[in-house]
Each structure stands twice: as C-alpha cells, then as structure tokens.
Amino acid sequence: MSGTPAPGAVRRIASGALPVLVALVDGLVVNGLTSGHGTWLALVAAGALLLRRRAPEAAVLAGLPGLYLGHIAFAPLIALYCVAVRRGPVLVGVAGAAAVAVAWFLPHPAAGTSSLALDRETALLALDCCGVAAGVVVLGRSVRSRQERLRAATARRAWENQVLTERVLATERNRLAREMHDVVAHKVSLISLQAGALQVGRPGDTDVRATARTIHEMSAQTLTELRHLVGVLRTAGDPDAQDTPGAGLADLTALVRDSGLTVDLDVSVPPVPVPEPVERAAYRTVQEALTNISKHAPGARARVRVRCAAGLHVEVHNTAPGRAAARPPIPGGGHGLVGLRERAHLLGGDFHAAPAPDGGFTVRAVFPVGWTGTRQP
C-alpha cells in the first residue's frame, strides 16, 4: 500500500525519537510532573536532543542546567555520546566530559560546596561522575573508529572492484583488437592483392588500371588506419601509452580529392595549435560525412568548412542528390553518425546532424581546442 511507510523510514524515525523519549521520561521521573523548574529543564534538555546530530555541543550545553539543578542525567550523557561520535578532535569530547562530570559532581545550591568533605563518599562520587562521563566518551570514540574503518573498507572494496573491472575490460579490449586485426586486415589484404593483380593483368585498359591503383592505395591506407585503431584499443585507459599519429587537418585536401565528389573545401588554419585527438576527430567527421554523401546522395555537391573561433568548427553540407545519379549498392551500418557524436562528446564538444532546407544534409561539429584529456577517441 502506498500509505504504508517504508521499513527504513520507520527505523530512522524510531532512532531519532527514542533518545528524546528516554531523556524526557528520565527527567519527569526524577522531578515529577509538577510545574517546577525541574520539569521545564527536563523538557528543554530532551528537546535539545533533536539537535544532537547537527549540533551535539549545543545539546550538551542545554542539558547541563538540568543535570546540575534537577539531576537529569540521560539527556546530557546522550548528547555527550553524540559529540564523541560526530566530532573528530578528541579535545572536544574531553571538554564535554569534564563539563558533564563537574555539573554532576557539584551539589545544588552552590553554597553547599563548603559541606564537601575529603572523605570516602566524596571520592566515590567524584570517581562515579568522572568514570561515567569518560566511559560515554570512550564508547562514542570507539563507535566512531569502527565507522571510519567500515568506510575505509568499503572504499577499498570499491577501488578493488574498479581495478578488477578495468583489468577485465583491458583484457577484452586486447582480445577484440586482435580479432579485428586478424579478420579485417586479412580481407583488406586480399582486396589489395586482387587490385594489384588487376592492375598488372589489364595493361591496355587505362580506366581499369586507374581504378585498380585507387583501390590498391585505399587498401593500403585502410590497413594503416586499422593498425592505428588497434593501437588505440590496446592502449585505451593507459595515460602513459604512446599513440601513433593519425590523419589531421592537413590531410583533408587529399581526402576530398580521393572522395570522387564535387567538394568545395574551405579550411582556415587555426591560430593556435590544435590537439591531435581534436584534429583526428575533425578529419573523421569530414570523412564520415563524405562517405555518407557517396552512399546516400550520389551526384550531390558538397561544401566543407573548417574554422577556428572559440573552438574548432567543422561543417559538411551537401545538396540534394542528383535525379539521374544511381545510388550505389553500398551497405550501411547506421552507426557512423552515432560514433561521431560519441567522439565529439568524449572530447567535450558538440555534434549536430540534420536534413537541410534545400533537401540536402548538414553535419556540424564543434571541438574545444584547449582539450588536454588523456583519453583517446
């Protein structure tokens, strides 16, 4: 039922109200239900225990008059225990214990101190007052020490779990890197060999030779980038690992030239050095956008803009695809834009991709040029 309080809430309410109730009963039993000063002091001392978790010193001070004037012991002792548990410095607990012991030992009225004799009963009373106050502080400090050990053990266990998780992820990452290299590199190598054979086997056909040469060069470039990605997988999470240089802004001209598209390229040289991960992310953004244009908008014109103004801004826009152009049967995984968005967010940047009003598509990405993180995209 929705109206039934949770067991945890019931326990919190009980733990908060029980000490107040015990102190109130103690004060009323000792001083009776009359309207004298003892009853009011009992109410004040018990009510002050509501502050024992946030201001235990105030609860102790509020209970001292009741201890001295009305022999109300439970309220100041409970507050003293809270001081020992919640306050780090030992001197705070010692001072509170001394105040409680003095208020408990001195008779009321103060003029009665002249009647104290250096006898056995006075010594036993002093020992009782000091022993009870010191015992409460010792108990509170032991509980505090146990809580600190428990927190330290919990933190150590969480750290060990994190280290174990990172180790398992690193092992799995290395396994995936090896599998990706073995499978993809083998297939791309076969493509490169077939392209080389085609280039040699058809010496009189210029177009075939040019196409084979392009396939051969792109296969070699793919293998180089594959090795770079494998290195990133193997060194991810290791801030001391050295990463191999990847493609950057200087390679955009070659990328546009080899894309086979009609592209208007405008790259403004940044006035400040751009971190290599940001350059690589900008290159991958343009590369993925041009690849999508080739697959989904054949015959379209593209515009690539790269400028630096409060960050590195990359924009790739294409017009609507040509009506006479046939769409090539190239499969798409549907994860390219998702990967670009994750890469931009990883670097602390922003990414946006949406259809344009002219029937084309626009991809925009902004990367902070002052990024100095250790994680590689």
Q: What is the CATH number of the domain that holds 259?
A: 3.30.565.10
Which of 235, 267, 293 delimits the end of a domain? 235
Query: Model confidence at 195, in pLDDT bands (50, 70, 90)?
Result: low
Q: Which residues pair with 94 in a beta bridge?
A: none
CA gap 216, 189 in Å, rounded? 9
255/359 same-domain check: yes
Task: Give pLDDT, residue 58.
Answer: 85
260/326 same-domain check: yes
Evaluate the CA torsion angle 19, 23, 28, 29 in order and state its sign.
positive
Kindly state whether residue 314 falls inside one of the protein's structural domains. yes
Domain count, the chain: 3
Kindly state whether residue 130 falls inside one of the protein's structural domains. no
182/287 same-domain check: no
CA gap 95, 90 in Å, rounded? 9
253/227 same-domain check: no
pLDDT above 70 for 328:
no
DSSP tag of 347: T
342/293 same-domain check: yes
Task: Give pLDDT, residue 115.
Answer: 58
Kindly state whether residue 264 falls inside one of the protein's structural domains. yes
- Three-state helix/strand/coil letters over 13-81: HHHHHHHHHHHHHHHHHHHCCCCCHHHHHHHHHHHHHHHCCCCHHHHHHHHHHHHHHHCCCHHHHHHHH
Residues 282, 365 contacting (CB under 8 angstroms):
yes
Query: Which residue range is the domain that position 206 belongs to?
Result: 169-235
23/110 same-domain check: yes
- CB within 8 A of 66, min separation 6: which ones? 27, 38, 41, 42, 44, 45, 72, 75, 76
Kindly state whether residue 152 falls inside one of the protein's structural domains. no
* Cβ neighbourhood burial of 341 (10 Å; 0-12, 13-18, 19+): middle
191/271 same-domain check: no
Q: Poorest-confidence range of 101-115, 225-239, 339-353, 362-376? A: 225-239
Tell me whether strands 312-318 and 350-355 are parallel, antiparallel or unpaired: unpaired
pLDDT above 50 for 372:
no
pTM score, two decimals?
A: 0.44
Which of 100, 116, 132 delimits the end of a domain? 116
Kindly state whether residue 154 falls inside one of the protein's structural domains. no
Mean pLDDT in residue range 166-187: 68
Query: Model confidence at 240, in pLDDT bands (50, 70, 90)?
Result: very low
Give the tens place of pLDDT for each residue, 48-98: 888 888 888 888 888 888 777 767 788 888 888 888 888 878 888 888 888
Q: How far is CA 5 from CA 11, 12, 15, in A?
A: 10, 11, 15
Give the tens place of pLDDT for each residue, 330-344: 444 455 787 788 888
Return the half-sphere exposure (C-beta side, CA atoms, 13 A cut-off) of residue 261.
Answer: 32
pLDDT above 80 for 271:
no
Give the tens place of pLDDT for each residue, 243-269: 445 678 888 998 888 887 889 999 987
